[in-house]
Amino acid sequence: MARGPITAPTSAEAELLLLQRQALLEEEQAKIKRALLTHFMQEKLSREEQSSLWGLHKVRTLWRSAQRKAKDQELRQDIEILSQTFARVMDCKDGTIEALVTELKEAEEQQNRALSSHLDLTDQLLQLQRCRLGYLEQGFSAQVGALKAEFEAERRAMLEQQDWESWVLQEMELATEQEHARSEQEALLNFQSARDDIKNKDMVTTTRGQIAAHLRKSEEQTQRIRGDREDAHQKLQKLRAQVTQASTTAHTHLVTLSSQCSATLKVLQQLVEKAQRLLRLAELCRRLETEEEKVLPFYPSSLGELEQQKVRRVLEETASEPLARVMKDYMGLERFWQRFNKAKLEEKGLERARAALADRNQELRKLLQQYLAGATMSQKVPKDPHPLLAIKQKPHPQK
């Protein structure tokens, strides 16, 4: 009975210790389980990651092989289409080359015939131009000779008239001087006789009156002779001025005719050079003509028959205005201007076609760039993780 109160607390403590030990064991077991579970989950997570990476690699490999096969098939089809197209183009080009060779031979033959006829016409034109130049030179030489002869005749006539008038003036001057000397001699004799008869007043008065009258007459004659001399001198000066002016005018005419002749020769030389240059250009253009241009070198007129008849009547009429006459002289170039305008229109059409082809080329380049960009993007897609294979990783539990 006495041991009961002593053993009771001992058993309670033992139970308490046992419970504590059990709690500690359970806690340790729980920690071990948690550690094992964590380790198991980490290993499972690493295995899942490795399997997902392997699956992703396998999927990418299969995707690349599928893309490679599809691309290879497309490229083979494109190569086959391009080879067929190239073969057709080569056949077309061979046929075109053969046709062009045939056309070239025909064009060379036609060009040789046209060139021979053209050279004949050119020789005829040159011969005609030489004849015209010869006639013009002969006419010019004849005009120059006539002007020189006329000038020499007028000059000789003026010189002879001047010599005759000078001789007449000298004779008049000599006669006047002789008359004046004779008058003075007579006056002196009369004066001497009057002086001898000084005693006779009537005689002296009469003699003085006669002397005074004679002196007045002599003075009047002298003044008249001087006036005639001045008039003759003025006429002589006028004749000399006219002769000088005539010689100057003739010299000016000669210089003008010489300059006009030189200018005419230069213009004719320029025309000949221009004609030769046009012939060379025509030969070059003839080589570049198409078959259609060789068959129909000029486009048909848009005028009706009545309008063409009116145009012909107007052209046959004599032109009154200078511009109309000049245009009528150049009527032979109407065909040339038709071909020139036709070539200009074709040039404008080719420029527009070239611009359209350039725009089309730019559009095709843009489409090709877009296609290549799309192909590049399609090759880059498998490098990114596939959304169906993406794994949401959970955060690792901390110990």
For 42-55, the pLDDT digits (tens) are: 888 888 888 888 98
- The least confident of 16-25, 350-359, 389-398 is 389-398
Q: What's residue 363's pLDDT? A: 92
Tokens describing residue 83:
């080879």
Across 44-48, 337-341, 349-353, 382-386, least confident range = 382-386
Q: For 137-164, what is the mean pLDDT?
A: 87
- Residue 230 half-sphere exposure toward CB, CA atoms < 13 A: 5
Q: Is the pLDDT of residue 351 over 90?
A: yes
d(CA 239, CA 232): 10
- Considering only residues 249 and 200, tell me which one the structure prediction assigns the higher pLDDT: 249
Q: Other C-beta atoms within 10 Å of 250: how many?
A: 17
pLDDT value at residue 397? 44
DSSP H or E segment with residue 55: helix 4-196
CB atoms within 10 A of CB 107: 19
Range in 31-35, 80-84, 302-306 with the lowest mean pLDDT: 302-306
Q: What is the pLDDT of residue 353?
A: 93
Instruction: Give the pLDDT confidence score for residue 362 in this predicted structure.
Output: 93
For residue 158, give every residue at least 6 positions away whose Cβ sits within 8 Å of its Cβ, in sequence order, or none.
Answer: 239, 242, 243, 246
What average pLDDT does the chain have? 79
CA angle, 93 then 354 then 369, to 5°? 85
CB 140 within 8 A of CB 257: yes
Asked if 24 contacts 342 with a C-beta cutoff of 8 angstroms, the reply is no
pLDDT exceeding 70 applies to what percent of the chain? Answer: 81
Q: Report yes or no: 217 and 208 within 8 Å, Cβ to Cβ.
A: no
pTM for the whole structure: 0.28
pLDDT band at residue 197 under the 50/70/90 scheme = low
The Cα 20–Cα 16 span in angstroms is 6
pLDDT band at 296 (very low <50, low <70, confident <90, very high): low
Q: Locate 167 and state its tokens.
A: 């001789």
Q: How far apart are CA 117 and CA 120, in angstroms?
A: 5
pLDDT higher than threshold 50 for residue 386: no
Report, as an integer, the average pLDDT of 209-233. 81
pLDDT value of position 145: 87
Q: What are phi and psi of 297, to 5 degrees?
A: -70, -20
In this predicted structure, which of 60-69, 193-202, 203-212 has the lowest mean pLDDT?
Answer: 193-202
User: Are residues 243 and 155 in contact, defined by beta-carbon separation less than 8 angstroms?
Assistant: yes
**Cβ atoms within 10 Å, residue 50:** 10
The residue-averaged pLDDT of 235-258 equals 80
> What local confidence, expressed as pLDDT, does residue 171 receive?
85
C-beta separation of 340 from 281 below 8 A: no
pLDDT digits (tens, 9 = 90+) for 26-76: 888 888 988 898 888 888 888 888 888 898 888 888 888 888 888 888 888
Name residue, tokens 């095709």.
364
Among 109-123, 153-167, 189-203, 353-367, the minimum mean pLDDT is found in 189-203
- pLDDT beyond 50 at 387: no
Least confident span in 100-109, 143-152, 168-177, 296-305: 296-305
pLDDT score, position 352: 93
Nearest to 386 by CA among 46, 86, 60: 60
Residue 247 burial (CB count, 10 A): 14
Residue 172: predicted pLDDT:
82
Residue 211 to residue 208: CA distance in whole angstroms = 5
pLDDT category at 357 given cuts 50, 70, 90 is very high
Average pLDDT estimate for 148-159: 87
Compute the distance between CA of residue 100 and CA of residue 106 in angstroms, rounded to an integer.
10
Output the pLDDT for position 361. 93
Owner of token pair 């607390």 = 9
144 CB-near residues (< 8 Å, 6+ apart) = 254, 257
Nearest CA among 143, 161, 162 for reference residue 151: 143
Rg (CA), the chain: 67
User: What pLDDT does 390 receive?
Assistant: 40
Q: What is the pLDDT of residue 345?
A: 86
Whether 292 shows a pLDDT value over 70: the answer reads no
The pLDDT of 345-349, averaged and rounded, is 87
Least confident range of 90-99, 216-225, 298-307, 356-365: 298-307
Q: Which residue has tokens 């253009």?
A: 285
What's the mean pLDDT in 123-152? 87
* Three-state DSSP state, 320: coil
